[in-house]
Structure 1
């Protein structure tokens, strides 16, 4: 128990740093689980291990207080970022539904995802981890979507986007890392144009730190900031809602999180979402209102589907949503540091590749 308690405190301390090593950044993910484990450990050590009382239990309580502070915005204890549309107005002009799902490339239960899309009949669909087999399998159910842009890949970073809303200026781009595509498209709803950004950067794992992931998120945030139209950002960010990188994304991009004040909407892992964390995201600028939002049942992937209904109503939304402040000088400095670290890492990899 002592070793476990020390590991919890050490991991919490490491997660406060800006280091990009994968074994540090993974401590960002299970903050709620760490919080609960700290509280339980402090209780046990206080009553069972008198030799380490009060210092280790006290350290656990201090660290758990900090963990609670990080996840507090994703509880009903704080005000919401995005206002809810009035009852009965969620299907009016300018309203649309969306589905984003990491299908898990090796998952071959195509029928469950096809049934999900057919049953929900969303206006926008973003699927990630789609290889050619997945593209072929869902082709039929996506035939009714006139706006389509896909890049199937066999490296678990393929992406597919379909829209029933009028679509223009659509493209798939590698923002920071080759064969790690992102979707960009301009859609129309209720007489207004808005830009969709769909992301799926690579996660922290052995031999893969977070320089590329963080750079992709910052580049996308800057693109959102520079657009003269509303923005909807969705996808599997391989980052949690309460991380510094995601906070930087919303600050730089001028984006709001509809989960704030409502809950975590944990989508991973699908087998125990009650103990999971939010990897699949939805962010919007201040021109949107929220109709409804939910995490669906498992369809065979390690992620659960994330669904929402939004209403693009700029005049009403701006008066009802949380005020969006521009990025601070500290935010800009932090974003610059992310890009500098990415460029240094890219240059290092290039040199090592040439030497190899």
Structure 2
């Protein structure tokens, strides 16, 4: 008697579906330096990392098949963040021997759909920053500007962009950064040279008579990344017209660790980034304003609001502020502007 044996079909497990999804995510994370669309996956890296760790732990607890594969995927998603998180240049930190001027800064994207204007103004006033840089600061947020104007002696605006700077310290010069680009652009240059972020600058005078330039900037979304690339290139070129050792750049960069987009900002800007993996978006204000539901727990997972400062600035503190009703959280920093002899 002849027997015929049939090969049993391979069993498909429910766990295979999320594993397949994380295989695709892992490929995208590793293709980020070469493909702008894939870099969007790195922008939300904490989401994938949390999901990969949860899936890895679950597969081991349930003794599910392919748990080694899941752990390998989690490791591969982790690796691209090691360098940007742990080995990026951070600038000097304050110590008791540093002599200079103590200046506090804050940056905040007010968000055009923000409805909690009173809350926003109260939080920003309570942060008590010497210099306040704002983005998405237009007609819709006028009541916030009016409240802030009662607490700041100087307000710098740009009629070409919804960005502004409030300062308690004297302002000696100011203007739209785009105007500098237009003045230095020659005829016949390619169209990409017209790509420029919303940006305003001000020269601030310290009590000892020294000055420094501060810029409030808002870069476009990283999709399409090519547009953000051109904005970054043009901005970095114009920013070099100011003294780099004393320059401070604050704003919404729409680029988060460990994206290739943020690494390009770190490469092209001479001042050093002082914000390190500090999530600022999306804050509870996004859900409260758009869905009408009050969210009690912090919901941020992407740090896209940053502070860059030149070599004469020593970092004291950098922290993320509370919910303001915006979809962003404000960022606050206290820094020391070194005396000239201490900086050399």
Counterpart-to-counterpart distance in 2, 1:173 and 1:79: 26
Out of 162, 165, 169, the residue aligned to residue 165 of structure 1 is: 169
Q: 1:10 to 1:177 in 2, by over 3 A?
A: farther
> Equivalent residue for 1:186?
203
**Post-superposition offset of 1:107:** 1.1
In the superposition, the TM-score normalised over structure 2's length comes to 0.75
> Equivalent residue for 1:300?
325
Counterpart-to-counterpart distance in 2, 1:267 and 1:288: 23
> Equivalent residue for 2:281?
268
Structure 1 residue 9 corresponds to structure 2 residue 23: yes
Alpha-carbon displacement from aligned partner over 1:333-355 (angstroms, at most 9, x marks no partner): xxxxxxxxxxxxxxxxxxxxxxx
Alpha-carbon displacement from aligned partner over 1:263-306 (angstroms, at most 9, x marks no partner): x2211121254651211101111110122221111011111111
Structure 1 residue 98 corresponds to structure 2 residue 121: no
Q: 1:290 to 1:129 in 2, by over 3 A?
A: same
Aligned residue pair count: 301
**Post-superposition offset of 1:257:** 2.4
**Post-superposition offset of 1:47:** 5.6
Aligned partners of 1:289 and 1:317 also within 8 Å:
no
Aligned partners of 2:120 and 2:144 also within 8 Å:
no
Matches within 5 A, 1:228-267: 228-229=243-244, 230-260=246-276, 264-267=277-280
> Equivalent residue for 2:219?
201
Counterpart-to-counterpart distance in 2, 1:4 and 1:277: 23
Counterpart-to-counterpart distance in 2, 1:137 and 1:53: 52
Counterpart-to-counterpart distance in 1, 2:197 and 2:85: 32
In the superposition, the TM-score normalised over structure 1's length comes to 0.73
Counterpart-to-counterpart distance in 1, 2:80 and 2:342: 32
Q: 1:178 to 1:248 in 2, by over 3 A?
A: closer
**Post-superposition offset of 1:138:** 1.9
Matches within 5 A, 1:210-229: 210-229=225-244
Q: 1:73 to 1:192 in 2, by over 3 A?
A: farther
Q: 1:119 to 1:51 in 2, by over 3 A?
A: closer
Aligned partners of 2:196 and 2:234 also within 8 Å:
no
Structure 1 residue 30 corresponds to structure 2 residue 47: no
Counterpart-to-counterpart distance in 2, 1:47 and 1:140: 55
Matches within 5 A, 1:81-120: 81-86=91-96, 94-120=101-127
Aligned partners of 1:82 and 1:256 also within 8 Å:
no
> Equivalent residue for 1:322?
none
Alpha-carbon displacement from aligned partner over 1:199-258 (angstroms, at most 9, x marks no partner): 111214xxx412122222232223344533421111011111432222222222222222
Aligned partners of 1:103 and 1:128 also within 8 Å:
yes
> Equivalent residue for 2:82?
69
SS in 2 for 1:86: coil
The structure having more radius of gyration, on CA atoms, is: 2
**Post-superposition offset of 1:123:** 1.5
**Post-superposition offset of 1:13:** 2.5
Q: What's the C-alpha RMSD, in Å, of the aligned pairs? A: 3.1
Q: 1:65 to 1:305 in 2, by over 3 A?
A: closer
Unmatched segments (≥5 aa) in structure 2:
1-14, 182-192, 285-296
Aligned partners of 1:192 and 1:312 also within 8 Å:
no
SS in 1 for 2:203: strand
Unmatched segments (≥5 aa) in structure 1:
320-356
Alpha-carbon displacement from aligned partner over 1:292-339 (angstroms, at most 9, x marks no partner): 2211110111111111111110557757xxxxxxxxxxxxxxxxxxxx
Indicate the larger mover: 94-103 or 189-198.
Answer: 189-198
> Equivalent residue for 1:286?
311
